[in-house]
Amino acid sequence: MAEIELIAGARSEFGKGAARRVRRAGYIPAVLYGHGADPIHITLPAHETMLALRQANALLEIALPDGKKQLALPKQVQRDPIRDAVEHVDLVIVRKGERVTVEVPLTLTGDVESGALLVQDRTFITVQAEATGIPVGIEVSVAGLSVGTQLTLADVQLPVGVELADNPEVLVLAVSQPHVAAPEESAEDAASAAVEDASAGSAESAA
């Protein structure tokens, strides 16, 4: 995974009012921490940061105000519940060669056998990988799978250097036979039948 560079600004004011001023200026308040270092409070360019965070487990290269550069992963992203705008980002420091545990999206490819129903129970997998080698996503092929097939996390093929850090017995997907409901009698059919029954009853009474 390639690093995404973001240029950070210094942040010395705190509180809701200061955070609003930062956001009005087109930046996002953030904090960088980890590896026993003191937290570093910074600002990040809003547009570039939101684009970067669209990628799962985006590896960020933060250019700090003192001229140093630091690799980091998003740890927690706070968003406005109405506008979905990013309001604050917690970043955890990582180093090249360091292995981290992250959740990676699972993507299904292909089609199961004709007429079968595919049910996906899990959309992500927890893995351990080098910070600079986190896969953007992992594909699972379902091409030609027949009714009755079940795949667990243990069946997922992982890239070289990536290890499962999840329960291998967790169900990912199952292929089943679709349930076909019996056709229900329409209201019109029911009404016609009722009229016919009533007519037959009247005829019998008259006889």
Mean pLDDT of residues grouped by 10 in the chain (207 residues)? 88 88 93 90 95 91 93 91 88 93 95 94 96 93 95 96 96 89 56 50 46
Beta-carbon contacts of residue 148 (< 8 Å; ≥ 6 apart): 175, 176
Longest dimension (CA), the chain: 107
Q: What is the pTM of this model?
A: 0.74
Which domains are present in the chain?
4-95 (2.40.240.10), 100-176 (2.170.120.20)
* Rg, the chain, Cα only: 29
pLDDT at 106: 96
Secondary structure class of 200 (helix, strand, coil): helix
pLDDT at 93: 94
